[in-house]
């Protein structure tokens, strides 16, 4: 960042909002930003162990949408058109599968970019960035991402074991 721009931003920032921009304050040692720990994702209720739940959801996404095939494939050599043709199907079916089994909802059902209050929201479900006061709490701010939460996890029972998808053999 060049010095003139830093000077201007500091000047106007102090003039209009009374504080230094967070990045400049940090760069010049006026404040210390403590990196916020990402809220730990609420663990899905394991049926017998966390690994089983992971295998189960991947297995469903592979079975219904072939998501594992897609994620594990090296697609660097293929054209955007080729990737695009395949992704449309995979995305649509993954989404349908998620809607069927997880019931995903936004954490805050607001408009991204609008001022949003944090009141009444669990601290684990909201992440504050920007000009966060030392208390770590703020009455509100601009909603940058609505977040996601799983209202309901209702995975179908699958055979135990670590096979995500069985190998398929076509008998001639």
Partner 1 sequence: MNVGIDLGTTNSALAFIDTKEAAEADFPTIRVLDVPQTVAQGRVESRRTLPSFLYLGDQEYVGVYAREQGALVPTKSIHSAKSWLSNPEVDRTAKILPWDAQEGGRVLSPVDVSAKILKHLADAWEKDQGSKLGEQNVVLTVPASFDEEARELTVAAAREAGIEQLTLLEEPAAAFYSWIANDLARSQKSLFDGQLVLVCDVGGGTSDFTLIRVSRENDRIDFTRTAVGKHLLLGGDNLDLTLAWLVEAKLGKTLSIRQKSGLRRQCASAKERLLADANLKSVEITVLGGGSSLVGGTLKTEITREEVLELALEGFLPGCELTDKPKDEDKSLYRELGLPLVSDPAVTRHLAAFLASAGDARPDAILFNGGFFIPEILRQRVADVMLLTGLFTQSHSSWPISITTTPMSVAIS
Footprint of partner 1 (CB under 8 A): 63-64, 66, 69-70, 72-73, 75, 77-78, 82-83, 85-90, 100, 156-158, 168, 170
Cβ(146)–Cβ(159) under 8 Å? no
Q: Which is nearer to partner 1, 82 or 123 (CB)?
A: 82
Q: Is residue 69 within 8 Å of residue 87, measured between CB atoms?
A: no
User: What is the rounded end-to-end Cα distance, in angstroms, of the chain?
Assistant: 67
| Residue 101 or 143 having the CB closest to partner 1 | 101
The distance of closest approach from Cβ of residue 67 to partner 1 in the complex, given in angstroms and rounded to an integer, is 9
The full length of the chain comes to 172
Select 90 or 138, whichever has its Cβ closest to partner 1. 90
* Beta bridge partners of residue 104, listed in sequence order: 150
> Could you count the other beta carbons within 10 Å of the beta carbon of residue 112?
12
To partner 1, the closest distance from the beta carbon of 102 in angstroms equals: 14
Q: How far is the CB of 79 from partner 1 (least distance, A)?
A: 10
């Amino acid at each position: 960042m060049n010095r003139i721009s830093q000077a201007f931003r500091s000047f106007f920032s102090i003039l209009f909002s009374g504080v230094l921009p967070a990045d400049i304050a940090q760069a010049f040692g006026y404040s210390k930003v403590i990196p916020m720990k990402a809220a730990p994702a609420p663990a899905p209720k394991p049926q017998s162990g966390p690994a089983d739940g992971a295998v189960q959801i991947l297995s469903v996404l592979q079975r219904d949408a072939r998501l594992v095939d897609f994620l594990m494939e090296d697609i660097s050599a293929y054209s955007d058109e080729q990737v695009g043709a395949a992704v449309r199907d995979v995305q649509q079916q993954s989404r349908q599968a998620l809607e069927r089994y997880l019931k995903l909802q936004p954490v805050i059902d607001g408009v991204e970019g609008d001022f949003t209050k944090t009141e009444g929201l669990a601290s684990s479900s909201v992440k504050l960035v920007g000009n966060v006061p030392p208390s770590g709490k703020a009455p509100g701010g601009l909603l940058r991402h609505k977040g996601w939460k799983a209202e309901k996890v209702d995975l179908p029972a699958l055979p135990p074991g670590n096979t995500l998808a069985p190998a398929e053999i076509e008998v001639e």
